[in-house]
Amino acid sequence: MSPRGVATPDVRERLFAAAERVVERDGAGALTSRSVTTEAGCAKGLLHAHFAGFDEFVAELCLDRFARTAEKARALEGLAGRGTVAGNLDTVVLALFDSGGPAVSGLVMGRPAAALRVREALAGGAPGFAAIEESVAGYLEAERERGRVPAALDTAAAALALVGTSHHLLMTTWPDSPDPRPRVRRLLTALLGA
């Protein structure tokens, strides 16, 4: 436990990672500010010192994980012509399911104030599914120009199908649900004709 008055490095990420571990291990119902700070091994008031409340914490956790995935998606175009198309897309789209993605999304859906904060942030330009979709479409276009995906592929529609399906699975997958990754990989195969 960090002693009182001593700065805690990487507070946000430490708390976010602790929240994910609590949800993964004990379920969404076990997530409280106290369970997060206990899991993080830090002072009980640390969460409230950095966030206006627990709903803001949950919303910021979700937005942070969306932003990380959007960052991976932005890097896709630099991968055009390298590796496999399915492998490159797999890395980005399936990142949504890593680090407790379904559980985190479920947390937001169950907290109206957190859901509102996420919607407002996304509407205000925070990176989310729209940014990921745009990056996937750009990447597929670059790969189509290189002849690595079918010439007839509608890259915008394929990106929408891939990201939309991932969004659907993210919002309908609970901790005890079957792993959604095989379904996403089947969709990739169907879209790419691989």
* pLDDT tens readout for residues 74-91: 999 899 999 999 989 988
Reply yes or no on whether the pLDDT at 8 is more than 60: no
pLDDT in tens, 155-188: 999 999 998 888 888 777 766 778 888 888 888 8
User: Under the phi-then-psi rule, with left for phi > 0, alpha for psi from -120 to 50, and beta for the rest, what region is 174?
Assistant: beta
Residue 167, H or E segment? helix 155-172
Range with the poorest average pLDDT among 8-12, 18-22, 36-40, 139-143? 8-12
- pLDDT for 117 equals 94
Q: What is the pLDDT of residue 27?
A: 78
- Which pLDDT band, with edges at 50, 70 and 90, does 143 fall under? very high
Do residues 70 and 131 make contact, with C-beta atoms less than 8 angstroms apart? yes
Q: How confident is the model at residue 1 (pLDDT cuts 50, 70, 90)?
A: very low
DSSP code for 30 = G
Mean pLDDT of the 31-48 span: 92
Whether the predicted pLDDT of 152 surpasses 90: yes
Provide the whole-model pTM.
0.77
Mean pLDDT of all residues belonging to the chain:
85
97 versus 184: which is more confidently predicted? 184
Q: In Å, how far from its chain's centre is CA 167? A: 10
Q: What is the dihedral of CA 42, 127, 186, 144, to 10 degrees?
A: -140
Angle at 116 between CA 112 and CA 167, to 5 degrees: 90
- Cα angle vertex 31, ends 25, 33, to 5°? 130
Pick 21 or 170 by higher pLDDT: 21
User: For the chain, how far is it from start to end, CA to CA, in angstroms?
Assistant: 51
